Structure 1
């Protein structure tokens, strides 16, 4: 390990698109002990060869619903970064399950270690969860987004409610980006007043690391995260429409999963056209 006085950061979601960008930055810095939770150690080591041999890294492998696994990851951590999530239109309970495991683990650690200091958690949320940001959208657009992705928002809302209700155990900061895009970063931007249309994964990760390490943000409970180039409507509109359409088919059409496969084919056609025209944007459906 880096040293007994080195701050410890626990990272949950390190093999996902957001989490692996966060991990890449933290590994490059090398100035923190990292406790990493993964469902698959093999997948992590494929993405980051040699990570298991790093002296400042400890890996906890298992189910996110296993309190002991999560407890191992969180032990001694002063900051928790959570980028867990699901792109499943039909719904998932991973956020609720992980919130329960995190809270149960923190309760057990408090009993064992006697510390009353609540760790700071930097948590991947959504701009749709922020009343100010949602109110800035045209009402019809807000309805479309919240309807198309309602299953995901149900899981996110439930998980956030669980964590917010335990403020004595964990100090929660919800990071609330707009649409997440797989492209090169244009510079990250954080704000409590507004959020841009999109954030790339590299820029989102830079925001997470800044919020985790800069203690001046410790009084905040929610904040927007964007790419500085995140308001390019013509660039992102086809992606947004594709994702909304896929979500609406799942909500309203019997056999929505089959319909979504057709939409994925159409989306791939649009993506190829974008590449041909010089766009590096990829779909994250």
Structure 2
């Protein structure tokens, strides 16, 4: 079991679940955030916990990220975003920051080579490519084109430096806002959906259990997440919006305008 873990993405839905579970473990936790007040609004007493060290600042601050990652056994990387909007490079920027910091640390101390647990997506699992209908795969990838491009850019950066770190990809199906139902971890199959609590629990298990140290990728499914009909009402609207965003010029301008009018 690692003695100190670094977490990037603690204020996101997955990251929050990871924090909750790690606080119950006998592990020191280094947490990177852009906004410490935002983190403390979620976890009000977190800065009083002697096992938790919070690093606040811009992801491009190499000195800060180097402090975050020094003497770390395991890194959990859950940075990401969901809307199919152009522009953000959250994951790519985070990956570059991690590699830059680890390269500096490696030059000073050849012994440190942490594991990195990276939140990816089952849509890009190579083993599933042959089993999923090509049209379905193309639609999903187009519906989430922009966040996927950011994810893939960050993933490529992290996987390109095996001398600095080893990477295990966590690849869930559709992420669903619901209660935990238990989870399955597999290297071969994935269901339709995974709740955020189940995903967080699976990430923590992979990070702490030595059986996964040499596994390059695992897929995660909630035990209640195998029937498409259960989640169709959640997944299909997101896919329709994402496809429209990719295919209709100016979609987000109109969408945001209508959302503001509707909220009045």
Give the TM-score band, short-chain normalised: over 0.9
Mean Cα deviation higher: 226-235 or 130-139: 130-139
Runs of 4+ in 1 over 6 A off after TM superposition: 262-265
Tell whether the 8 Å contact from 1:249 to 1:259 is kept in structure 2 after alignment: no
Separation in structure 2 between the aligned mates of residue 14 and residue 226 of structure 1, nearest angstrom: 21
Residue by residue over 1:179-210, the C-alpha shift from the partner in whole angstroms, topping out at 9 and shown as x without a partner, is 00111011011100101111000000110010
Q: How far does the alpha carbon of each residue in 1:135-171 deviate from its partner, in whole angstroms, 9 at most, with x for none?
A: 3222221111011111111111111111111000010
Match of residue 24 from structure 2: 28
CA distance in 2, matches of 1:198, 1:27: 26
Query: Is the 1:96–1:156 contact (alpha carbons within 8 Å) kept by the matching residues of 2?
Result: yes
Quick check: 1:107–1:169 contact (8 Å CA) kept in 2? yes
**1:23-172 to 2 correspondences below 5 Å:** 23-29=19-25, 31-91=26-86, 92-112=88-108, 114-172=109-167
Aligned position for 1:187: 182
Aligned residues: 260
TM-score scaled by structure 1?
0.87
Question: Of 215, 219, 242, which residue of structure 1 is paired with 2:237?
Answer: 242
Given the alignment of the two structures, is residue 221 of structure 1 paired with residue 236 of structure 2, yes or no?
A: no
**Distance (Å, rounded) in 2 between the aligned partners of 1:94 and 1:135:** 30
In 1, Cα distance between the equivalents of 2:205 and 2:98? Answer: 22
Distance in 2 between residues matched to 1:262 and 1:61, nearest whole Å: 33
Deviations 1:42-75 (A, max 9, x none): 0111111111011101000011222122112111
Query: Residue 268 of structure 1 corresponds to which residue in structure 2?
Result: none
Q: CA deviation at 1:262?
A: 8.3
Long gaps (5+) in structure 1: 266-285
1:151 to 1:77, Cα distance in 2 relative to 1, 3 A? same
Q: 1:18 aligns with which of 11, 14, 18?
A: 14
Q: Could you give the per-residue CA deviations for residues 227-257 of structure 1, whole angstroms, max 9, x where no partner exists?
A: 0111122221121111111111111112110
Gaps spanning 5+ residues in structure 2: where? none
Higher relative contact order (CA 8 A, sep 6+): 2
Change (3 A) 1:178 1:74: same
Aligned residues of 1:38 and 1:59 also touching (Cα < 8 A): yes
Q: CA RMSD in A?
A: 1.9
* Contact 2:83 2:242 (C-alpha < 8 Å) held by counterparts: no
